[in-house]
Amino acid sequence: MRQHPIGRIIEETPNGARWLGYLTIISFSILGFFFLANNIKSDIYKKDFLAIYVLSQAVWNGGAIDTNLDILIQKYVTHLPYSIFNHQSPHPPTMGLFFLPLIFIQYETARWIWFIFENLFFIFSLKLISIAIDTLVSWKIILLTALAFQSFNPLALDLYNGQIHCFLLFLISLTWVFLKKDHETISGFFWGISLLIKQIAWPIFFLFLIYKKIKALYAGIITITIGYILTSILIGFHSIFNYYFNTLPSLTKHYMDCPWNISLWPIGTRVINGALFLTSESVNFFMQPLLSGNPFYYVIPFLLPVGILIVIIILIQKIQNLDSSFALLSGLSITINPIAWAYYNLFSMIPLAIVIKQLVALRFPSFVTSMSLFSFFAIAIDQLFWMQMTNYIQTGGWITNERFAHFNFNYLTHLFFFMPTLGAFILSFLAARPVEIPQRSVEKPPREE
């Protein structure tokens, strides 16, 4: 098997490679420090965390959670001279339940507290993932890696926007670790908590089912049921019903046209519907449909995500490897959800860890190493880069002010938007490959006569 240059460098100059590795981590750590400083200095109100904060306020006060977020901001935080979220909350009502402790703190302070906790959750997630793949990693390397990943686009976006995906990664990592230790009930509990906050990791349901982890499945369902009962006590069942049958479908339709949505669903939807995304808060996006007029075309949006899900289920049954299956479902749960933003790719840390372990054990085979590097950088690079490339291919020019840009792309050109999706797709399937990792033999000392 042909070896990648990275593997040859490591084997031929192990000391030099080690120092090069340390230098790389330290260099990215310095870059990550600047990203961290930029996040700290940014506008504290133009954050997704503000939407989470006011949702929790509305849940605690029994308010109407389907109220426009700008109105909730004026009611519970402050009056702002500009609009931030001119729509209803896209988050499930149960999310507000978990952030109730923060509502008793002023928003400005709560935002800083959550920023620190998100960083801590990411650090602990790295440690949990290393435990799950049976690899001993020191806290020093964990901390340096966490700092280096500050420039990793999914993490940088999550921290900048005050999102909650480091917390979700932490919960999913706990689900994985406890599942491997045969603590099914605890594993299912953490999975259920993650779904109460955001319904991203629902595909893990199939892993519990296929591997007959029935206790984990029951624990997750009971946790979710209790969460919704508690939430309905605070806001009424009608508010939860209204969210799932009115608010969520309306916002899903709106976000399906958003160019930042990296899910597989928009790829099919835009074939028959095109896209029209108009907002004063971000870019404007317009695209003509590729096909129209035939009633059969309306099944097209379902073909890709549903087809991928069926392939995943068949593959999991075939490989019968818990780690590979968990990595596959974690990585691809991003792409088969109807709405997926770039920071959802934090879940790709799970397949990434398995792929790195495989590459080291197999001495960096050339093709797989190259594909792994491509998929990692497709995810790690700012999505705006791929949008710039799309614009350059179609118009021959660069975007000078991306915040107020107007895009009018053809269907095939706009597929460059989905490079992070392709990266997550490749990385997840690489992690699911049936790889036999060679065990290191330990020579026994000769017995004394």
DSSP 159-215: HHHT-SHHHHHHHHHHHHHHHHTT-HHHHHHHHHHHHHH-TT-TTHHHHHHHTT-HH
| pTM for this model (two decimals) | 0.91
Residues 6+ apart with CB under 8 A from 183: none
pLDDT at 241 (0 to 100): 92
pLDDT at 167 (0 to 100): 97
Find the helix or strand (DSSP H, E) in which 325 lies.
helix 322-336
Question: Can you tell me whether residue 407 is helix, strand or coil?
Answer: strand
Can you read off the two tokens belonging to residue 374? 């491509």
CA–CA dist 310, 324 (Å, integer): 16
CA–CA dist 91, 105 (Å, integer): 21
Question: Which residues of the chain fall short of a pLDDT of 50?
Answer: 441-445, 448-449
pLDDT at 400 (0 to 100): 63
pLDDT at 287 (0 to 100): 84
pLDDT at 449 (0 to 100): 44
Q: Please give the radius of gyration of the chain, using alpha carbons only, rounded to the nearest integer.
A: 23
pLDDT at 16 (0 to 100): 66
276 φ, ψ to 5°?
-145, 105
pLDDT at 79 (0 to 100): 83
> DSSP code of 448?
P
